[in-house]
A and B are shown apart, each in its own frame.
Chain A
Amino acid sequence: MSKYARFALALAVGTGLAMGATGPAKAETPKKGGTLSYIVAAEAPSYDLHKESTFAAVHPIRPFYSLLIRVNPENPQSPTDFQCDICVGEVPKPTDGGKTYTFKIKKGVKFHDGQVMTAHDVVATYNKIAFPPEGVASVRKAFFKMLDSVTAPDDETVVFKLKFATGSFLPVLANPMSPIYSAKDLKEHGYDWHEKNVNGTGAFKFKEAVAGSHVDGVKFEDFHMQGKPYLDGFRALISRKMAIRVQAIRGDRAAIEFRGFPPKQRDDLVKALGKDITVQESDWNCVLLYTPNHGRPIMQDPRVRQALTLAVDRWGGSQHLSRIAIVKTVGGIGFPGHPLSATKAELVPLKGYGTDLKAARAEAKKLLAEAGKSDLKFELMNRGTDQPYKIVGTWLIGQWRQIGLEVTQRVEPTKTFYNELRNTKNFDVSLDFNCQSVVNPLVDTSKFVGSAGNNYANFKGQDQQLEEIYEQMLQAPEEAKQRELMRVMEKRALSDQAHMGVTLWWYKINPHRSYVKGWKIAPSHYLNQSLDQVWLDK
């Protein structure tokens, strides 16, 4: 764990620079009152976080609920700094060789309707998520494959028994998509009730929602954290167009947007509003990939796939693209800066990560010539979303043009996009991404293995060696060994076989009105959205 701690410190220092104005916020005493207006870029289908997987559900709904444990709002950059939300004291250490976790639950925590929360509510919640009855949807069931049982010996104790010891259990518990529901609600109203109704223990009570327009919350007076929340309420405004979101902050119709703006918009806001705008920035646990379809004859030759990655100017792209798109950091398969992830020195020897662009592109042309594919033409399938998919897609096509490839872009609506990826596999190369909440590279990198459910490069069963490396890494007891194996895996997946191409990691930029205090940027737009610690300096 020592390396994790160092990593957290390094990140805190790193982002401290970017945070600028919010750095000294600790010295200030929070002011009470006011309503925070913020923008949400999309509308969630329902209020049930257990069923949804979009940030558009997290941002307006998460403040109504509590989690068992959560990412520390004062230190959201750390992948290991968790704190109790409705449990008591420190997050417990596992016993029984890492296979048992015992939580003490806070007494007298109230739901918004007045029910008193007990350990049985926690058990009912996790049973619903991990062991749903037949026919009940639970999209994160797979997250809990290590969980054997969850029980409540008494009203204040919850015991989780695991099938095997794993470091990824706590991050899964801290996932914001697992808010605590009342056992009574689940029993009386059924498993679909929370889609349209809200009854949580969070800092804010549901006031009203108008479909397509906004969600309003008001302060919950009986909130289980003394003196919180500071705000009287919040209003989550829905706005689909990026231009409107930026203008809304400029015209002070909203104070913040929690997902992230492209750098250009940040600059425009800072230029227009000066010190009324504070900018927080962070690496983002999302990576944009391109996926060559191994089922297509033209993509079967590893030399062709290597040529594709060699043509991409990642270091240059990092500079240029980071001005217009929400991507920035050059990285391998793991979240950049994490102790398990590659350093720049480790990345450079990989194909496509070299610093001599000319040489790389010459090599790419040579490889294409050797493969007899010098005048390759193909189609890049992309998803109909501007940021960052279409921008990076257009950029990639420009990169490939440099080695003489003629690439066109086909943009598909989401359903067709996934249908092509999963079922018909009717594409040459597709854009793809991997986006996770709590940083946990051991689990997150499963995306690069051919047998993974969300790997769309279509080489399942063709690279057994890669599968074995990943399994070894998962079971490696020590961090050093895990790290070593991750390098081996990275080299095989991205360079030797070039199964998939990492373009750039996302970069989260949240410019907000300077009067918003107490909110700290996390490496994911899913995290740190409880809003209980946020206040307005007005």
Chain B
Amino acid sequence: MGKYILKRLIAMIPTLLGAAVLVFFLLRLAPGDICEVRLLGTGATVAQEQIDICRESLGLDKPQIAQFFDFVWGYFIFDLGTSMWTGQPVTHEIAIRFELSLQLAVMATIVATIIAIPLGIISAVKQNTLIDYFVRGFAIAGIAIPSFWLGLMIILGLLVFSQAWFGEPWMPPIMFKSIWEDPAHNLSQLMWPAVATGYRYSAVAARMTRSAMLEVLREDYVRTARAKGMVEKIVINRHALKNALLPVVTILALEFAFLMGGLVVTEQVFNLNGLGNLMVDGVEHHDFTMTQNLVMLVVIVFVITNLITDLAYAWLDPRIRYS
């Protein structure tokens, strides 16, 4: 097992390096940079000299290959550089937004798990019945409906209905406060995006639960258990669910990793100051250091999540290790 882990860890290196090359040069492919945005974006007349001063101060005048080495080297010395837009360390900018993104991801996961697992099981057990069709329809709709659109509809609904019922229009707070500081404020802000993203998330997880359950229900040992006359409920809970859970947990983990940095659109709709929003800002400002590091961090989290799930599989099923 140790050898296998080492093998997989080494295999990560070229992937991460490749991702770094890809994102670094992708951002710099088109001409122009943040100095144009900062100085010219308001239509001002700015001398080329001022733009050059700006470039120099941000290190954009250095050769690209040198900038690339700085970028990669940063990961070895734990210095991700400073944002070109705010001048603050990238890690500082991320730290500010981390709590919100983490909390939202946790809340969405809770919403998703509560909905997905029971639905997935019912759907699998009652395969090809009306209930199954309903659940599958619900799940596929969850994947089909854009979360950001659902978010827009939620806010609109809140404003309209609160005014109709209570006389005063109400909308969720637009400024984040920590749950430890002001739980009511915090939850009234985050529950809506948690529902909007949680629906899609639960749909993905319910589908996975269903197919994993179906697969397990057809396995010999489940059939044997049934043949032995065991109560259906016990068969499902004790035998089937336990074995079907692994792929479900995998998908939950991957989605969780995605939620941490990938809510680029939904965070806009709810005015959430999270990591997805930071990414959109970085892209919009052409803040290379910010964008490349954020993308790299999402990639790293992603690759590690994948690795952990792979290791879990390998641990459970030794055949994988030796193939």
Contact = CB atoms under 8 A, between A and B. Distances in A.
Q: Do any CB atoms of chain A lie under 8 A from CB atoms of chain B in the complex?
A: yes
A320 B85 CA distance: 38
B47 interface: yes
B258 interface: no
5 contacts: A53-B39, A142-B47, A195-B87, A250-B169, A414-B37
Contact of B50 (A141, A253, A424): A141
A419 B31 contact: yes
Interface stretch (A151-159, A206-214, A363-371, A490-498): A206-214
A248 B45 contact: no
B53 interface: yes
B55 to A, nearest CB: 11
Interface string A122-163: 000000000000011111111000000000000000000000
B46 A54 contact: no
A432 B44 CA distance: 12
Given A137-B57, A251-B159, A243 B152 contact: yes
A417 to B, nearest CB: 8
Contacts of B268: 240-241
A413 B174 CA distance: 27
Interface size class of chain B, counting residues whose CB lies under 8 Å from the partner chain: 35 or more
Interface string B68-96: 00000000000000000111100011001
Contacts of B50: 137-139, 141
Nearest to A383: B41
Interface in A478-509: none
A140 B42 CA distance: 12
A46 interface: yes
A434 interface: yes
Interface string A367-394: 0000000000000000000000000000
Given A196-B87, A414-B41, A212 B36 contact: no
Given A195-B87, A196-B87, A212-B277, A247 B159 contact: yes
Interface in A213-242: 213-214, 235, 237-241
B227 interface: no
Contacts of A418: 32, 36-37, 40-41
B284 interface: yes
Interface in B274-308: 277-278, 281, 284-286
Contacts of A238: 273
A213 B40 CA distance: 24
A424 B168 CA distance: 53
Contacts of B169: 250-252, 272-273
B31 A424 contact: yes
B287 to A, nearest CB: 9
A172 interface: no
